[in-house]
Amino acid sequence: MRNYTEEINRRRTFAIISHPDAGKTTLTEKFLLYGGAINLAGSVKGKATARHAVSDWMEIEKERGISVTSSVLQFEYDGYCINILDTPGHQDFSEDTYRTLMAADSAVMVIDASKGVEAQTRKLFKVCGMRGIPIFTFINKLDRDANDTFELLDDIEKELGIATCPVNWPIGSGKAFQGVYDREKKCVIAYSDTEKGTKEGKTTEVPVEDEAHLRSLLGEEAADKLLGEIELLDGASAEFDLEAVRAGKLTPVCFGSALTNFGVEIFLQHFLHMTTMPLPRKADIGIIEPTEHDFSAFVFKIQANMNKAHRDRIAFMRICSGKFDASMEVHHVQGNKVMRLSQPQQIMADERKILAEAYAGDIIGVFDPGIFSIGDTLCMPKEKFCYEGIPTFAPEHFARVKQVDTMKRKQFVKGIEQIAQEGAIQIFQEFNTGMEEIIVGVVGVLQFDVLKYRLENEYNVEIRLENLPYEHIRWIENKEEVDLAKLTGTSDMKKVKDMKGNPLLLFVNSWSIGMTLDRNPGLKLAEFSRN
């Protein structure tokens, strides 16, 4: 029997981030395949009869072939207990990705070898930079024609401002892809095309010193190219420095093909040796160490209607310290309530397993009757401290929402409030009016489609969206000192309040913000709100 410190030490919790279509979901599934969590990997974009990706559970995700919410997946591999947080790749859902990164200790960045660093990769990388977490890079799709390898590494260094250290090196790409050179073992691992969805077949390893064998395996031209690149690589690339990796200053890089499984297990093994056990977290009483403190956790995600049969709502928590036991009572700090967590469960996409216990580093889902908010802290009853809040991103697009059938008012209000509590959308009311007039703010316009789809399919409510011209939002930091009714603004400014009654200002033009501040001495405006 392991003690709870050993259990925490063997946990590894990471998020997978990438531009859409870089192969993130496929890579996630192959990890699960190696861990024995699934027997056959699916395909998100397969035929209608094909299995959908394990990590994409929402109907709209299956229809569009994109991930719009983060999934949590746990599996065992080589003595480690691994928690994967699979994030949406599309930039319209970057706020969900940011919240998920708050619950991770490191990130795996997947890059398409034929495209290099794409716009969304840059945005997600900035989010990782804000957290200062270690980043491990998997350059995917070597089974297709790829960009020059040195250019790909240059691209990462210039675009993302992080040094790279290749752990292995690809030999050709597309039809000419022959495998990778392992820098540590100083040998070539030959590529064998395997049946999609199964574990990779037998691998051939040839030491680079065995030049005759190498040339017969790769051919003269490919062998010469590889030997020249190894020489260049050893002279030019950054030295491997584990401290720099863990500080988020250096990214180890592996190459492979998630679709054909080549290089996936190699990457997983390297990653597990380099990444850390669950990290300490900052709270208002100081640093909370995972193994030296009793149970504590924070809520980073809320998802309604994961189970259509029960119409329930799940709060996802990252356990930060100690051991969780299903029978224990915990203190919900923000609600100032001592309670038992109802139906604690481990979620594998839409499948659930009720848990008796969990440890620091694990992600658990608990039934939420509507009491939790994103950023809430839970700890032992005798304690009272709060983890750092999770910032709310400022919406960039706004629309007025109107229900088509006014008789369904109750379902409409319930649906829109529940979806807002998940953090996918933000809802506002006109200042001085009730819920009759609702304005929705989103980070990306695709969220409007998700809102419309979910209200229709989960709450049986049809809505019309009327786009509004506002592009900028500001929270009033010193609301107690400001009389909103007497605030002098600009003609393009709108006064609204959020669901907690906090006053906010919407603007069409950015210059109006400065003008409003000039006209109202003492007014303090903020770009984001902390939960």
Q: Is the dihedral of CA 39, 43, 49, 51 positive or negative?
A: positive
307 in the same domain as 269? no
Q: What is the pLDDT of residue 44?
A: 35
**Which of 243, 274, 305 is a domain's end point?**
274
**Where does the pLDDT of residue 52 fall: very low under 50, low under 70, confident under 90, or very high at 90 and above?**
very low
Last residue of a domain, one of 379, 401, 430: 379
Q: With respect to residue 385, please indicate whether it lies within any of the assigned structural domains.
A: no
- What CATH number is associated with residue 439? 3.30.70.3280
Residue 41 and residue 156 in one domain: yes
Average pLDDT of every residue of the chain: 84
Would 439 be classed as within a structural domain? yes
* Tens digit of each residue's pLDDT (9 = 90 or more) over 135-170: 999 999 999 999 999 999 999 999 888 999 999 999
From CA 271, how far away is CA 34, in angstroms rounded?
A: 14
92's CB contacts (< 8 A; 6+ apart) are 442, 443, 444, 445, 446, 447
pLDDT in tens, 62-93: 555 444 344 678 889 999 999 988 776 445 55
> Has residue 295 got a pLDDT over 90?
yes
* In a shared domain, residues 183 and 321: no
| Residue 26 domain flag | yes
Residue 504 pLDDT > 50, yes or no?
yes
Q: Find the mean pLDDT for residues 207-234.
A: 91
Q: Are residues 110 and 147 in the same domain?
A: yes
- What pLDDT shows up at residue 45? 36
| 387 belongs to a structural domain | no
Total domains in the chain come to 3
Give me the CATH number covering residue 306.
Answer: 2.40.30.10
Contact of 108 with 463, CB cutoff 8 Å = no
Interval 440-457 mean pLDDT: 85
Q: Report residue 271: phi and psi, to 5°.
A: -60, -45
Q: Binning pLDDT at 50, 70 and 90, where does residue 341 land?
A: very high
Asked which of 347, 379, 411 is the last residue of a domain, the reply is: 379
CATH of the domain at 192: 3.40.50.300
Cα separation, 297 vs 360, in Å, equals 8
Q: Which of 184-193, 256-265, 333-342 has the lowest mean pLDDT?
A: 184-193
Q: What is the mean pLDDT of residues 289-293?
A: 94
Report if residue 245 sits inside a domain. Answer: yes
Q: pLDDT value at position 309? A: 57
- The whole-angstrom separation of Cα 404 and Cα 407 is 9
> In this structure, are 518 and 419 located in the same domain?
yes
Same domain, 183 and 268: yes
- pLDDT tier at 519 (50, 70, 90 boundaries)? very high
What is the structure's pLDDT at 531?
47
**71 or 461: which leads in pLDDT:** 461
Examine the domain organization and report whether 291 and 422 are in the same domain.
no
Mean pLDDT (whole number) for 186-195: 79
Could you tell me the residue range of the domain that residue 453 belongs to? 393-530
With a pLDDT cut of 90, the percent of the chain lying above it is: 45
